[in-house]
A and B are shown apart, each in its own frame.
Chain A
Amino acid sequence: MAGVSAATDTETSQPPGAESEERDRSGSPARPLRLAIGAVGVVVTVYLACNIFLAFAYYPQWFLGSKLLIGALGLIVGIGGSVLFFWFLNLCIEGLPSRMSEGVIPYAFLLPGFSLIALLLLYPTAQTIIYSFANNDSTDWVGLANYQAIFSDPAFWSTLFNNLLWILIVPILTVAFGLTVAVLADKLSGTGEKVAKSFIFLPMSISFVGAATIWGLVYAYEDAGSSQTGLLNAIVVSLGGEPQSWYQIDTLRLNSLLLMVILIWLQTGFAMVLLSSAIKGVPEDTVEAGRMDGASETRIFWQIVFPQVRPTMLAVFITVLILVLKVFDIIYVTTNGRYNTNVIANLFFNELFVSRQAGQAAAVVVVLLILVIPVLIYQVHSFRQQEANR
């Protein structure tokens, strides 16, 4: 209900000062010269910018074949072009009668951003859904055949099961580690806290491919008897165990769990940073009141601090969950889905580029899209709530 009332508010309420503005501008008639110059300017800017960008691709020799020059020019044309574009657009719309111009200008400012979104996100999404009902070169309808094909493949269900494990395990553990680190770091001295947080935050800047390389050295396996170069096997052997080829052990999906460790390692810093700032945002007097009542530090944490950081925990949880649903790179570069470690995004990649089953690949993406919908609804809902409280 909050969302509905917020929506009607926006449409009826006037910003303060709007009345005086009406008085000032109501008389201004159309200014055809501005309108014309603005319109011509918009068209010319767009035409030139598009052609220069296409020239980067079609005629690299015009730019001496230099990547750096192309990059620098791309930056200049991109920034300059968009400033000019908006300037002309603003001029053009100001040339309209003022009543009309005030109504049109918001849409004009949204136009470029939303054009890109429509062209590169909305249109392709619709097209992919259509492809999922068509054959591999999209020349004929096949009804539900693509879906039947993927659903009847046991490998698909195994993949879906792995995704479910990732969803159940990674976000929870990331939030738990992040909270632990945030709470403990808060109890260190100022310098200690800063240093400790920097080290745990650092993996945030490392790519999934880089992280997989790093953890490859941890999980490396040499034959029993020879010297182990992998950290994990070295520890196992020094404790008297047998070295294991970790990525190949799918008992209890151990290999998937080990791959999850990589993502948790990458994301804990992110969770820590957000939770740490939430903990520091807890009003001191609420904690002080607990101390006055003689509550223990543990009790103060669970009964006073924890409820106040819960919204942030939920936000971090959802953000990591969204990331986990799309997880691809880590699996692609380590096992490529072998040994029962496949996930949906990797299945899609292999259907499309290895098996060349474009129709089934589209169907896999649609399944992924459907999995995302509950999260999407939740996000929209919580956004509306947040706006209502603003």
Chain B
Amino acid sequence: MSTMKDGRRRSPLAMITMPVMVILWTIPTLGLLVTSFRTREAAASSGWWASLLDGAFTLDNYRELFETTSMGSSLLNSVVVAVPATVLPIMFAAFAAYAFTFMNFPGKDLLFILIVALMVVPIQVAFQPMLNLLGPNGLGINGEFVAVWLMHTAFGMPLAVYTLRNYMATLPGSVVESAKIDGASHFQTFWTLVAPMSSPAIAAFATLQFLWVWNDLLIAKLFLGGGANKTIIVDLQQMIGTQGQGEELLTAGAFISMVVPMIVFFSLQRFLVRGMTSGSVKG
């Protein structure tokens, strides 16, 4: 049997099965991409694979999407929602994680177990009271970006505290101790030592949170609504119901909604993997 460069034996089973899996996993997305470049007539009369042979592609769907629908502005809205909602939980969570890792205090275990438990609680439990609290009879900020920033910041908090604390627990405690002996305040120790050393975990959480916020439908739909501030995912969900005129724009819209998270995904994959393996889920 032949061997690879690194001396391991080649596995025929893996060499046959893996390409099949990759094709199976890729074909659905490929179908969407191809369809988004087809005219409405073509898409209605034959499957997308037919066009791979005749090669009749057009950019009209994308042009029309940005000219006649709200997709362009929804794309911008999604950026305005996702970037602050990713960054805002980090500072609060990092200070909490610092306290959980480097300080001893009564109630510490109980409070951290609350964090672990809250990661499991479905966010639906919060919707009715929060709609009342943020709605016209409460603060009156429902439908504005501030409302979704607030929701995502709070809902991301348990995961952020958990991930950062698990990472900080692997840092050498002696570093913090010696800073203390040198007379540094906790703020200084956090700011100059612990926060920079935790940057891989911060990047990992930020990647997960960005994908989650960008791809979220429920919170965006309920707390930002389907009006001028709607995110691209809510816009796409509204398009799915479209029949007839404009139907051909759906696939182009879906693809546009995936471009940003895919870029984030590919450029930060390293952090994403590290975040998933080292903190947020652990055996």
Which residues from chain A sit less than 8 Å from chain B, CB to CB? 6-7, 10-11, 13-17, 20-21, 24, 53-54, 56-58, 60, 67-68, 70-71, 74-75, 78-79, 82-83, 86-87, 90-91, 94, 103, 105-107, 109-110, 112-114, 116-117, 119-121, 123-125, 127-128, 131, 180-181, 184-185, 187-190, 192, 195-196, 198-210, 212-218, 227-231, 234, 265, 268-270, 273-274, 277-278, 311-312, 314-316, 319, 322, 325-326, 328-329, 332-333, 345, 348-349, 352, 358, 361-362, 365, 368-369, 372, 375-376, 379-380, 383-384, 386, 390
Closest 4 CB pairs of A and B: A311-B283, A207-B215, A120-B154, A71-B80
> 30 interchain pairs (CB within 8 A)?
A10-B109, A14-B104, A17-B178, A56-B145, A57-B146, A74-B145, A75-B87, A79-B91, A106-B104, A107-B105, A113-B157, A114-B111, A124-B125, A128-B125, A131-B129, A180-B21, A190-B6, A200-B21, A200-B25, A205-B258, A209-B217, A209-B240, A231-B28, A277-B273, A326-B124, A329-B217, A333-B237, A365-B122, A365-B125, A375-B120
- In the complex, which residues of chain B have a beta carbon less than 8 angstroms from the beta carbon of A107? 99, 105
Question: Out of B49, B87, B118, B276, which one reaches A121, CB within 8 Å?
Answer: B118
- In the complex, which residues of chain B have a beta carbon less than 8 angstroms from the beta carbon of A208? 215, 217
Chain B stretch 47-103: residues in CB contact (< 8 A) with chain A: 47-49, 76-77, 79-80, 83-84, 87-88, 91-93, 95-96, 98-100, 102-103
- B193 interface residue (CB < 8 Å to A): no
- In the complex, which residues of chain B have a beta carbon less than 8 angstroms from the beta carbon of A229? 43-48
Pair A57/B144 contact, Cβ less than 8 Å: yes
- In the complex, which residues of chain B have a beta carbon less than 8 angstroms from the beta carbon of A83? 91
Pair A273/B18 contact, Cβ less than 8 Å: no
Residue of A nearest to B255 (CB): A210
- In the complex, which residues of chain A have a beta carbon less than 8 angstroms from the beta carbon of B258? 205-207, 210
A361 to B: closest C-beta gap in Å: 7
CA distance A180 to B8 in the complex (A): 19
Pair B109/A71 contact, Cβ less than 8 Å: no
Pair A210/B281 contact, Cβ less than 8 Å: no
With A128-B126, A181-B18, A205-B261 given, is the CB distance from A121 to B80 under 8 Å? no
| B246-283 Cβ-contact flags toward A at 8 Å (1 or 0) | 00001100100110011011100100110011000111
CA distance A83 to B173 in the complex (A): 23
CA distance A291 to B125 in the complex (A): 53
Residue of A nearest to B113 (CB): A380
- In the complex, which residues of chain A have a beta carbon less than 8 angstroms from the beta carbon of B177? 15-17
B5 to A: closest C-beta gap in Å: 7
- In the complex, which residues of chain B have a beta carbon less than 8 angstroms from the beta carbon of A349? 218
Which residues from chain B sit less than 8 Å from chain A, CB to CB? 4-6, 8, 11, 13-15, 17-19, 21-22, 25-29, 31-32, 35, 43-49, 76-77, 79-80, 83-84, 87-88, 91-93, 95-96, 98-100, 102-106, 108-109, 111, 113-130, 133, 139-141, 144-147, 149-151, 153-155, 157-158, 161, 169, 173-174, 177-178, 180-181, 183, 185-187, 190, 211, 214-218, 229, 233, 236-237, 240, 250-251, 254, 257-258, 261-262, 264-266, 269, 272-273, 276-277, 281-283
CA distance A110 to B97 in the complex (A): 8
Pair A68/B80 contact, Cβ less than 8 Å: yes
Question: Out of A90, A119, A365, A383, which one reaches B185, CB within 8 Å?
Answer: A90
Cβ-Cβ contact count across A and B, 8 Å cutoff: 368
- In the complex, which residues of chain B have a beta carbon less than 8 angstroms from the beta carbon of A106? 99, 103-105, 108
Pair A345/B122 contact, Cβ less than 8 Å: yes
Residue of A nearest to B152 (CB): A120
Pair B43/A124 contact, Cβ less than 8 Å: no
Of A103, A107, A195, A206, which is in contact with the most chain B CB atoms at under 10 Å from its CB?
A: A206
Pair B122/A372 contact, Cβ less than 8 Å: yes
- In the complex, which residues of chain B have a beta carbon less than 8 angstroms from the beta carbon of A362? 128
With A57-B146, A380-B117 given, is the CB distance from A119 to B154 under 8 Å? yes
Of A117, A123, A376, which is in contact with the most chain B CB atoms at under 10 Å from its CB?
A: A117
Instruction: A209-B240, A362-B128 are known; give 17 further A-B pairs, CB within 8 A.
Output: A10-B109, A11-B106, A53-B149, A56-B145, A58-B141, A91-B187, A110-B111, A120-B150, A128-B125, A181-B18, A198-B269, A201-B269, A215-B28, A314-B283, A319-B281, A328-B217, A380-B117
CA distance A234 to B47 in the complex (A): 8
- In the complex, which residues of chain B have a beta carbon less than 8 angstroms from the beta carbon of A67? 76-77, 80, 145, 229
CA distance A12 to B4 in the complex (A): 56
A57 to B: closest C-beta gap in Å: 4
Of A78, A127, A349, which is in contact with the most chain B CB atoms at under 10 Å from its CB?
A: A78
Pair A210/B236 contact, Cβ less than 8 Å: yes
- In the complex, which residues of chain A have a beta carbon less than 8 angstroms from the beta carbon of B215? 205-210
Pair A184/B13 contact, Cβ less than 8 Å: yes
CA distance A152 to B120 in the complex (A): 28
Pair B99/A121 contact, Cβ less than 8 Å: no
With A109-B98, A210-B254 given, is the CB distance from A332 to B120 under 8 Å? no
Pair A203/B282 contact, Cβ less than 8 Å: no
